[in-house]
Amino acid sequence: MELLEQGPVEQFTLAKLAKSLDTVSMALYNYFPSRDALLEGIGDHICMQFEMPPAKRNQRWQETLMQWLWTFKAHAERYPIVLKVMGVNGNSSPGWLRITLTVSRTLYEQGFRGHDLALHVWLFCSYAVAVVFNELQGSHFRSGISLSHIDKLEPDEQEFLLMLRKHNMTLTTDEVLGLAFQQMISNLEREVERIQNA
């Protein structure tokens, strides 16, 4: 897990792992038949740590999904590499499937079926991954250094971006994610209304 945190998953090799463990690559094959199998094992280990808090009595579906989003964010903070190992070579790990099960069940209970269900679960979870990953990995773009090349823009562009930057630097991660999560739920509310009126 430490090696995966140091760089892209594409650079993770059994040879690097063996070296860090002061052993040889062949010794690792006694436990994992391939690099992909090891990555799947890591992904499952991390994803299986995900735990939804117990639902409140008479909890609305919107609250369940909002709770899932914040729980996923906390999980990604605790295990930043979850976003690297939730799937290997296009295959979702069983652990990732378990994480997304709450979303699938919640949308099913709201009337989504078949292709429509698959599409909305995929999009909701993909948006969650994208928003959480971008905020946890990219919030530094709200810092002053992100404007280090502003002098290459036209004066009116510089002026506008400097005005905007003043406000960007006060944004908090919770504020950014709170709005993004609320927008995701609002989009689903419109879809649920469409299904119920069909």
pTM: 0.83
Between 121 and 35, residue with greater pLDDT: 121
Q: So what's the pLDDT on residue 168?
A: 64
DSSP H helical ranges for the chain? 2-5, 14-20, 25-28, 35-47, 61-78, 82-85, 94-109, 114-138, 155-168, 173-197
How distant, in Å, are the alpha carbons of 82, 89, 117, 166 from that of 133? 10, 19, 24, 24
Does position 144 have pLDDT exceeding 70, yes or no? Answer: no
pLDDT band at residue 57 using 50, 70 and 90 as cut-offs: very high
Q: So what's the pLDDT on residue 187?
A: 96
39-54 pLDDT, tens per residue? 888 888 898 999 999 9
Which of 53-57, 78-82, 176-180 has the lowest average pLDDT?
Answer: 78-82
96-131 pLDDT, tens per residue? 889 999 999 999 999 999 999 999 999 999 999 999
Report the alpha-carbon distance of residue 117 to residue 121 in Å, rounded: 6
Report the alpha-carbon distance of residue 17 to residue 173 in Å, rounded: 33
Topology of the domain covering 32-197:
Tetracycline Repressor; domain 2 (1.10.357)
Residue listed under structure tokens 């062949």: 26
Taking residues 179-187, report their average pLDDT.
97
Q: What is the mean pLDDT of the chain?
A: 88
SS (H, E, C) 71-106: HHHHHHHHCCCHHHHCEECCEECHHHHHHHHHHHHH
Query: Domain extents for the chain?
Result: 32-197
Report the alpha-carbon distance of residue 2 to residue 17 in Å, rounded: 10
